[in-house]
Structure 1
């Protein structure tokens, strides 16, 4: 089985894989590369790269979310132990198929346990996956105290223990170094030539569309500017990079935030779907940005 994301994830990049493939540097398919993903999230691009490009001998991933990176590390090192716990959670959750109150009580008990951050690392990883598969829309959101606060979803018998995929993910992670913390540290673990793919917290299109509570620290405009500066540093070091972000200009034609910020680089607009919104009428197609520091075959995306 080919590895694929083991989590549901707001902003996951599975739907943009075709556009990302078109925008890869032409050298990427013919040379040995180190692949670096400083905001790894659910790893959709990571798993696609590792499964399709054997010339990538090493990958470096990072995320500020320690709960997430712990789960990656446990899948890499102790998949069988993790699966045993996931099987127990799945069996218990499915036992409440006809008991809504029991299902809710069980979910919130596990959420409370997860938020203690006091269980063994394997258990914490299992709780992370359990909550992701049973919470509303697969969101990961924390309050200022780093407490996971997403309510239960409407799932009755979700897949919580995906044995085949967990084992496939564990296999490909043998080629991956997993870091936790500031994305800038990835540069210290990188060998040339390297290809960086950035999928940072997106700049919100409106005051009500922000999912930046993914971590307890904000990722606002100043952090977007810092990230641009880091990309410029990579450019001077002759690394390749690609970056995704929201297309604020698509919402407001006078908003040139990213067009000005990355004006010296290549900015492409691609179609994407907005799937995570409590109001179904506000889901649909919109454009996002794919920005690169290299020339590639220009394709009309959007």
Structure 2
């Protein structure tokens, strides 16, 4: 149920997500404003919602949106969004309890031990995807958010068994329950339909006055930069071709899309991969800071792509 707060704030993601799009928001906003005004009536679709930076930005800046739909193939992520939307009180209470227990650990070793125990419990509580999403287990949702905030660089990675296996992130103190932001996010999500499944299922919404923001797992820049194991199966080049066909179907329906991906022009053995694949659309290169490299010197500014059929 929605909870109102007296002075609404600009909503921001409640998760730290590798490859988050906060840095690209000005560029995405510029593309959106070419087609929609703040009070335009349109539908927003996000097939790979991730941390939701673009989602919350769009819902806040374009109040005329008639409908919004988000989707992901990660059942724990989808359950977290549904818990945020439907039971924010229980979710925040669980998060506050975990935050206190973590911060009460006096040493790094005890914090790491607490993290590892919660990770073990999270994996133990894993339910089947359908039951988790249809009736969210709020203890598991709270653990999911807690682990996201305390793990290494906010990664979500699983092994072939589907077990979350990201190591401890060495956080000395932690605030995982930003209550004001959580309540504002819950308020925004009241107008959002939240789905679990493959991104191609979102074609059922295609049509005029419909815009898709498409943010698939990025094509790796090199062999060591692949963080695509958000589920048991990696996201391959074959899936990148599926995304291109998905964009073509949106375009043919009279709808619009904005796609983000890595710029492999300087690193890949096929440097023209995206330039050739999306030659019929507008491709713009933008700068963003790399955030997930394990070494600080590897987190410099890199080029990323924004591809769209909006002129």
- The two structures have a TM-score, normalised by structure 2, of 0.91
Are 1:208 and 2:224 an aligned pair?
A: yes
Contact 1:135-1:150 at 8 Å conserved across structures: yes
Q: What does the per-residue CA deviation read over 1:267-286, in whole Å, with 9 as the maximum and x for residues that have no partner?
A: 11111110211111111111
Supply the distance in 2 between the matched residues of 1:188 and 1:112 (Cα, whole angstroms).
38
2:77 to 68, 92, 113: 68
Q: 1:40 aligns with which of 49, 65, 86?
A: 49
Q: 1:82–1:228: structure 2 CA closer, same or farther, 3 Å change rule?
A: same
Displacement of 1:189: 4.1
The 5 Å alignment of 1:1-302 reads 1-24=9-32, 26-29=34-37, 31-96=40-105, 98-116=106-124, 117-118=126-127, 121-189=137-205, 192-251=208-267, 255-295=271-311
Number of corresponding residues = 294
**TM-score where L is the length of structure 1:** 0.94
- Contact 1:139-1:150 at 8 Å conserved across structures: yes
Please give the alpha-carbon distance, in whole angstroms, between the structure 2 residues aligned to 1:240 and 1:31: 14
* Aligned equivalents of 2:207, 2:194: Cα separation in 1: 15
Using the alignment, how far apart are the partners of 1:72 and 1:164 within structure 2? 16
Q: Larger deviation: 28-37 or 73-82?
A: 28-37
Q: Distance in 2 between matches of 1:65 and 1:254?
A: 29
Contact 2:211/2:256 (8 A) holds in 1: yes
5+ long unaligned stretches in structure 1? 296-302
In structure 1, distance between residues paired with 2:250 and 2:71: 16
Distance in 2 separating the partners of 1:67 and 1:192: 32
- CA displacement at 1:252 relative to structure 2: 5.0
Q: Does the CA contact (< 8 Å) of 1:83 and 1:161 recur in 2?
A: yes
- Offset at residue 190 of structure 1 (A): 5.2
What is the CA-CA distance between 1:293 and the residue it aligns to? 1.2
Separation in structure 2 between the aligned mates of residue 250 and residue 40 of structure 1, nearest angstrom: 28
In structure 2, what is the Cα distance between the partners aligned to 1:22 and 1:180? Answer: 29
**Structure 2 CA distance for aligned equivalents of residues 271 and 169 of structure 1:** 28
In the alignment, what sits opposite 1:300? none
Unaligned runs of 5+ in 2: 1-8
The alpha-carbon distance between structure 1 residues 239 and 278, as it changes in their structure 2 partners (threshold 3 A), is same
> Which whole-Å deviations, capped at 9, do the CAs of 1:164-191 have from their partners, x for residues lacking one?
1111110000110000110111222456
Counterpart CA distance in 2 for 1:212 and 1:186 is 21
- Deviation of 1:250 (Å): 3.4
Is contact 1:25–1:240 with CA below 8 Å preserved after alignment? no
Q: Report if the CA contact (8 A) 1:242-1:290 is conserved.
A: yes
Q: Distance in 2 between matches of 1:188 and 1:179?
A: 12
C-alpha displacement of 1:160? 1.4
SS across alignment from 1:27: coil
Structure 1 contact 67–125 (Cα < 8 Å) conserved: yes
Q: Deviations over 1:202-260 (max 9, x none)?
A: 00000000001122112110000011011101111001001000000033596110011
Task: Classify 1:34/1:74 alpha carbon distance in 2 versus 1 (closer, same or farther; 3 Å).
Answer: same
Identify which range, 99-108 or 267-276, moves more after superposition: 99-108
